[in-house]
Amino acid sequence: MIQNKGQGTTEYLIILAIVIVIALVVVGVLGGFPSLGAGITQAQSKAYWSSTQPLAIIEWSIPSSGTGSLVFQNQTANVITLTDINWNGTSIGTFSTAIAAGGKATVSDTDMTCGVSGGQPFSRTVGYTYTTPNLPGLKFNGVQPVVGTCQ
């Protein structure tokens, strides 16, 4: 009778892998894993948006109703013209705001609201369309939302 020396080890590893997969499924079903990337803090949101290229959003003031504002800063050496903002999945209008290299511009609109009452936390997705001297109609969609406290 010939015995395979590695057979026991292989069977042990396969059984261990099956047990680990079952354990991960059970923990996931019972809610043991928080949803990844579901929530970020206001500090994390500001850090992300202040480093985005070509335009950073360095400040925001978002009310429950009225007019909200975003302060954009050009992070490039060229003039960039901001032509549209996508606020939480909705275009808030067509405009033309030229921002000089390294310059800042505040964009305000009545559609930029937080959707909750004052003092409550909010999270809104942001994207924008812009034009450079050589390329029109470029789009940027933020990976992280704008997060803050509703005013």
Predicted confidence (pLDDT) per residue in 22-59, tens digit? 888 887 777 655 544 457 889 999 999 999 999 999 99
The CA–CA distances, whole Å, from 129 to 76, 122, 135, 137 equal 16, 23, 11, 6
27 and 82 housed in the same domain: no
Same domain, 53 and 25: no
- Tell me, yes or no, whether 63 and 99 share the same domain: yes
Mean pLDDT, the chain, integer:
87
The residue that leads in pLDDT, 9 or 150, is 150
> Residue range 3-15: average pLDDT?
76
Q: E strands within the chain? A: 55-61, 68-74, 80-87, 90-99, 104-109, 121-124, 126-131, 138-141, 146-149
63: closest CA among 118, 6, 8? Answer: 118
Q: Which of 75, 83, 66 is nearest to 131 (CA)?
A: 83
pTM of model > 0.85: no
- Co-location of 89 and 23 in the same domain: no
Q: Are 126 and 90 in contact (CB under 8 A)?
A: no
pLDDT at 37: 45
pLDDT of residue 148 exceeding 80 = yes
* Range 95-109 average pLDDT: 93
What pLDDT is attached to residue 79? 95
pLDDT tens for residues 128-147? 999 999 999 999 999 999 99
**Do 3 and 51 have their domain in common?**
no
Torsion sign over Cα 87, 92, 94, 97: negative
- For position 62, which CATH number holds? 2.60.40.10
| Same domain as 21, residue 79 | no
Sheet order of strands, 80-87 included: 90-99, 80-87, 126-131, 138-141
